[in-house]
């Protein structure tokens, strides 16, 4: 049974007052040592929708879960057919003004943790990005652990499915799309070239745990930061929220720039409600 991931939450207290100016953000970032935690909202201006914002994809799409992927051959067939189409959009996506502004601010940053799997921070030139949920640009074998480039799998899937020509204009942050069952029922899934095992995108599915060493690396980055700057994340799931809680507990200022309320608001020092591309470009201009 596929369960729908959390769409929202109940805020136990009054909403944190929001500002629509960067006046109070500038001195915090100017001190340096800023750790960025980014979410799907940062990539919407690159044509990749978020999960939970206005019109977010979770309102009409249930992402693949780890349980279904590992236990259902039909589920894997459906996922790879749809993801094969979605990968074309992800691969064509380009960094937007927000990604480029984060790169420009690199001298004031202690690191970047992203919940996104689209690789756009790296494409914009940000160094040493920690991909909390992995990356769609590579594939892992669940049997032998071999990592391989997604572009190689894309070629193999095209060769195995020469008559598969499905298209769609709707893409999800995980690279999945919607296709009718009759479109995917004959899709051929290819195995690992090394051992013949099951291939999975090297991303953390819903219901799957982030690898512990990666979590510890992120905790270490939080502990060493002067401030935490959250960009475009609703912080609905614990994988990102735990770092906000960690920073707040340690007395590290937490600044959240996001359109709409977030689950991390009760832990924030400052909440800014502005479009990310525009606001981050302005922030970089004020500081550099």
For the packed helices 212-223 and 238-249, what is the interaxial angle rounded to 10 degrees?
30
Count up the domains in the chain and report the number. 1
User: What's the predicted TM-score (pTM) here?
Assistant: 0.91
Report the share of the chain in percent with pLDDT over 90: 78
The neighbouring-strand residues paired with 227 are 34
Kindly state the average pLDDT of the residues 65-77: 96
pLDDT (tens digit per residue) in 6-50:
545 556 566 667 888 999 999 999 999 999 999 999 999 999 987
pLDDT of residue 60: 53
Answer yes or no: 100 catalytic. Answer: no
Spot the catalytic one: 84, 121, 133, 267. Answer: 133
Residue 198 has pLDDT above 80, yes or no: yes
pLDDT (tens digit per residue) in 204-237:
999 999 999 999 999 999 999 999 999 999 999 9
Position 5 in a domain: no
Position 13 in a domain: no
- Domain assignment of residue 93, given as a range: 20-287
Kindly state the average pLDDT of the residues 262-267: 95
- Extract the annotated binding site for NAD(+): 39-59, 115-118, 232-234, 258-260, 276
pLDDT (tens digit per residue) in 86-122:
998 899 999 999 999 999 999 999 999 999 999 999 9
Instruction: Kindly indicate the confidence band of residue 84, based on its pLDDT and cuts at 50, 70 and 90.
Output: very high
Count CB-CB contacts under 10 A for residue 241.
20
- Tokens 């920073």: give the residue: 247
CATH of the domain at 177: 3.40.50.1220
Q: Are 240 and 36 in contact (CB under 8 A)?
A: no
pLDDT of residue 73: 96
- Extract the annotated binding site for Zn(2+): 141, 144, 192, 195
Which alpha helices (DSSP H) does the chain contain, by range?
25-30, 66-71, 73-92, 97-104, 120-123, 150-160, 181-184, 212-223, 238-249, 276-287
Position 227 in a domain: yes
Mean pLDDT of the chain: 91
- Answer with the residue of higher pLDDT: 279 or 55: 279
Position 55 in a domain: yes
Position 4 in a domain: no
Helix, strand, or coil (residue 129): strand
- Extract the annotated binding site: 39-59, 115-118, 141, 144, 192, 195, 232-234, 258-260, 276
């Amino acid at each position: 049974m596929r369960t729908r991931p959390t769409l929202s939450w109940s805020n136990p207290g009054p909403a944190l007052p929001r500002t629509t100016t960067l006046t109070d953000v500038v001195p915090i970032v100017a001190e340096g040592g800023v750790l960025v935690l980014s979410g799907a909202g940062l990539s919407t201006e690159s044509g990749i929708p978020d999960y939970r914002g206005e019109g977010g994809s979770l309102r009409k799409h249930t992402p693949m879960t780890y349980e279904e992927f590992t236990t259902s051959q039909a589920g894997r067939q459906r996922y790879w057919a749809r993801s094969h189409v979605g990968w074309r959009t992800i691969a064509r996506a380009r960094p937007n003004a927000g990604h480029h502004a984060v790169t420009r601010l690199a001298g004031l940053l202690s690191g970047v943790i992203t919940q996104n799997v689209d690789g756009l921070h790296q494409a914009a030139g940000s160094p040493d990005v920690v991909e909390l949920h992995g990356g769609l640009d590579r594939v892992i074998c669940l049997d032998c652990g071999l990592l391989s480039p997604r572009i190689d799998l894309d070629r193999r899937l095209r060769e195995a499915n020469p008559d598969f020509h499905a298209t769609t204009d709707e893409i999800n942050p995980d690279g999945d799309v919607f296709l009718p069952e009759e479109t995917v029922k004959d899709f051929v899934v290819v195995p690992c070239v090394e051992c013949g095992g099951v291939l999975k995108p090297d991303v953390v599915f819903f219901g799957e745990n982030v690898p512990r060493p990666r979590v510890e690396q992120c905790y270490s980055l939080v502990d060493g930061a002067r401030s935490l700057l959250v960009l475009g994340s609703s912080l609905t799931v614990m994988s990102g929220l735990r770092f906000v809680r960690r920073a707040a507990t340690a007395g590290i200022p937490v600044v959240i720039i996001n359109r709409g309320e977030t689950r991390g608001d009760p832990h924030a020092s400052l909440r800014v409600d502005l479009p990310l591309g525009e606001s981050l470009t302005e922030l970089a201009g004020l500081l550099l």
